[in-house]
Amino acid sequence: MSAATFQVLGPEGTLTGPDPAIPRDDLRRAFRHMLKMRVLDQRMLSLQRQGRIGFYGTATGEEAAVTGSAYALRDTDWVFPALRQTGVSLWRGTTMKEIVCQLIGNSGDVLIGRQMPCHFSDRKVRSVAWSSVIGTQLVHAMGAAWAAKIQKRDDVMMGYLGDGASSSADFHAAANFAGVFKLPVVFFCQNNQWAISVPLSMQTASESIAVKSDAYGFPGVRVDGNDLLAVIAATRDAVERARSGGGPTLVEAVTFRMGGHSSSDDPTRYRDAALVGDWERRDPLTRLRAWLGASQALAPGDEERWTQEINDEIGAAIAEAESFPPPPIESMFADVYKEMPRHLSEQMRYAVAMGEGQKFEGAFPL
């Protein structure tokens, strides 16, 4: 890690910086949540390999960045995620069944099968739908922050991005506008070193991603993204600054994507095994486990019991999710207009008839 990288827990799980004084029960909950993310990744990747879901993007190795940033937010704040922030929704109250249903895209999916797998969103946990088009969620986060400022609400928006998105035009547009108008938004970059197969060294000539904030007139902080305590401390400061009217902050959490970009990717084709081994020694779960064990916040048997509970929860969620039928044909036509116009009503009637195998006379009503 660079000397300019804020750190609280070293790789061995010993304090190297100021303790942010997180309550013991919160630390236990955070560790269990990181463990849940790790187990969920393993189970869902297995499900994808079996052909039971179509696509999955793991966050293995990045659990501290996801959990620590989520911890710093209020329930009333809004989240604008990218690919690896499903754990943020889980932290905020999304159920395991809802996650699995979304991955399948069935009638139990809160999005009714209208999004790609892993593109989760849900109004009740204030998580906004994102696009695979890189960086678009940052402009949405900035716009929502502008609305909050106009309406004089103290909500904070968290816009997530990867290192690749820091090269996008939407990153520039969002950061520039947010800086000019001092909007209540935090741009949280999970710098996992790779934008699919493009390494960070080919992504930017800047000494860091955090330094890019200087051009937009607001602070940037580079934090050890595998250190839960450091992520919480840095993100909490950024959120409090935004909430108090101080404007945006760019948080760069330096971490590593242990697996492929997605279930469709083979990282061994472009990444050296020795590099992966080096980052395995910085595993965020190993680090926090050592700290909690030394401080007696984690008792012997806790992790084994939690792992079993999580596996049982996931198993039950899969069984329930796979019992749901596909979304009804009518759902394609709902939520388009407040009152369905005649032409759409006719199209729905035609589609339902065709779906049920009934003969329908005449051309499709365009």
**Structure confidence at residue 362 (pLDDT):** 62
Question: Do 221 and 361 share a domain, yes or no?
Answer: no
Question: Do 291 and 312 share a domain, yes or no?
Answer: yes
- 270 included as an active-site residue: yes
The label of the residue with tokens 């910085």 reads 282
Q: Is residue 13 a part of any domain in this protein?
A: no
**Structure confidence at residue 335 (pLDDT):** 81
Alpha helix segments (H runs only) across the chain: 24-49, 63-71, 86-92, 96-104, 136-150, 169-181, 228-243, 273-280, 284-294, 302-321, 342-355
Catalytic residue (choose from 38, 140, 241, 257):
257
Question: Do 158 and 186 share a domain, yes or no?
Answer: yes
Question: Do 70 and 35 share a domain, yes or no?
Answer: yes
Q: Is residue 50 a part of any domain in this protein?
A: yes
Catalytic residue (choose from 261, 282, 287, 289):
261
Catalytic residue (choose from 74, 270, 305, 343):
270
- Which among 180, 123, 179, 184 is positioned nearest to 156, based on CA atoms? 184
Quote the CA–CA distance of 169 and 167 in Å, as a whole number: 7
Q: Is residue 147 a part of any domain in this protein?
A: yes
Question: Do 179 and 232 share a domain, yes or no?
Answer: yes
Q: What is the CATH number of the domain that holds 229?
A: 3.40.50.970
Q: Is residue 3 a part of any domain in this protein?
A: no
Question: Do 243 and 361 share a domain, yes or no?
Answer: no
Quote the CA–CA distance of 338 and 221 in Å, as a whole number: 44
Question: Do 292 and 151 share a domain, yes or no?
Answer: yes
- Region of 335 (left: φ > 0; alpha: ψ -120 to 50; beta: rest) is left
Q: Is residue 187 a part of any domain in this protein?
A: yes
- 261 included as an active-site residue: yes
Quote the CA–CA distance of 316 and 309 in Å, as a whole number: 11
What DSSP line would sit under 95-142, residue for residue? -HHHHHHHHHT-TTSTTTT-S-TT---BGGGTB----SSTTHHHHHHH
Question: Do 333 and 255 share a domain, yes or no?
Answer: no
Task: Walk along the chain (366 residues) and give the pLDDT tens digit of each residue.
Answer: 445 899 999 999 999 999 999 999 999 999 999 999 999 999 999 999 999 999 999 999 999 999 999 999 999 999 999 999 999 999 999 999 999 999 999 999 999 999 999 999 999 999 999 888 999 999 999 999 999 999 999 999 999 999 999 999 999 999 999 999 999 999 999 999 999 999 999 999 999 999 999 999 999 999 999 999 999 999 999 999 999 999 999 999 999 999 999 999 999 999 999 999 999 999 999 999 999 999 999 999 999 999 999 999 999 999 999 999 999 999 989 888 999 999 999 999 988 888 766 665 665 555
Q: Is residue 248 a part of any domain in this protein?
A: yes
Give the rounded distance of the alpha carbon of 252 from its chain centre. Answer: 15
Which DSSP letter does residue 92 get? H
Using the 3D structure, point to which of 321, 340, 357 is the last residue of a domain: 321
Question: Do 30 and 88 share a domain, yes or no?
Answer: yes
Structural domains of the chain, count: 2
Question: Do 281 and 357 share a domain, yes or no?
Answer: no
- Which among 265, 146, 293, 299 is positioned nearest to 194, based on CA atoms? 265
- 243 included as an active-site residue: no
**Structure confidence at residue 2 (pLDDT):** 47
Give the rounded distance of the alpha carbon of 46 from its chain centre. Answer: 20
Contact of 242 with 186, CB cutoff 8 Å: yes
Residue 283 belongs to domain spanning: 24-321
Quote the CA–CA distance of 136 and 290 in Å, as a whole number: 38
Cβ burial of 313 (10 Å; 0-12, 13-18, 19+) is middle
Q: Is residue 5 a part of any domain in this protein?
A: no
Q: Is residue 8 a part of any domain in this protein?
A: no
Question: Do 342 and 301 share a domain, yes or no?
Answer: no
pTM: 0.93
Question: Do 284 and 346 share a domain, yes or no?
Answer: no
Quote the CA–CA distance of 188 and 66 in Å, as a whole number: 10
